Amino acid sequence: MASYAFAFVVLVLASTKAFASDPSPLQDFCVADNTTKVFVNGVVCKNPAHVKADDFFFSGLDKPGDTKNALGSKVTPVNVNNLFGLNTLGISLVRVDFARRGLNPPHTHPRATEVLTLLQGKLYVGFVTSNPPKLFTKILNKGDVFVFPEGLIHFQLNIGHENAVAIAALSSQNPGVVTVANAVFGSKPVINDDLLAKAFQVDKKVVDYLQSQFWTDNN
């Protein structure tokens, strides 16, 4: 447990305001009020008089995520949606568990840079730049750190002989995630198959098959 706490402190210190994509706070804190129906760019603040220590507390990140799924991975987020004290602070956290050969598939965080620390196992990680696309990859071992720039497609694959565990800090209270395959083939409503067939230069039947698989898995 000490290693998790150490990793958390290092990641928090590494994610300074210089890298945060969210606006800076205008007061000491702005604990998110999850009961309001008001929509703003962010989350409305709770009355400071009603704020408690538990608003800044989250428990359970020591528990492994369930990797019994098609990808063999599980992301456990700690963001403004479940740790209300993160509101306006420009940072969040995830734990990522990998079974053997588990994959965190190509995805982006539209509002955040990610700094990942590997706590256990061996990962093949990488990201792709904007056009013209260039791939940067690295093999990580326990204790290694890798940064994924904001908005770029990136991935992690367990290439070791045991389960892997990573902790990542993100420079937004709500970084968002766009999984590439889900977005392209699993959107609702679906993207026109003729369009995708031309974009990927494949037969339309391939697109129809992929779309049917994503709709079956997500419905």
**Tokens coding 92:** 């969040």
Is 161 annotated as ligand-binding?
no
- Name the residue type at position 21: S
Are the CB atoms for 101 and 202 separated by under 8 Å? no
Say which residues have a Cβ less than 8 Å from residue 29's Cβ, sequence separation at least 6: 48, 51, 56, 85, 87, 88, 89
Is 104 annotated as ligand-binding?
yes
Are the CB atoms for 207 and 186 separated by under 8 Å? no
| Integer Cα distance of 42 and 23 in angstroms | 10
Question: Which of 51, 16, 18, 21 lies closest to 33, judged by CA?
Answer: 51
Instruction: State the Cα angle at 151 between 80 and 130, rounded to 5°.
Output: 175
Is 109 annotated as ligand-binding?
yes
Are the CB atoms for 158 and 166 separated by under 8 Å? no
Euclidean distance between the first and the last CA atom of the chain, given in angstroms as a whole number:
37
Is 131 annotated as ligand-binding?
no
The annotation places the binding site for Mn(2+) at: 107, 109, 114, 154
The annotation places the binding site for oxalate at: 104, 109, 114
The annotation places the binding site at: 104, 107, 109, 114, 154
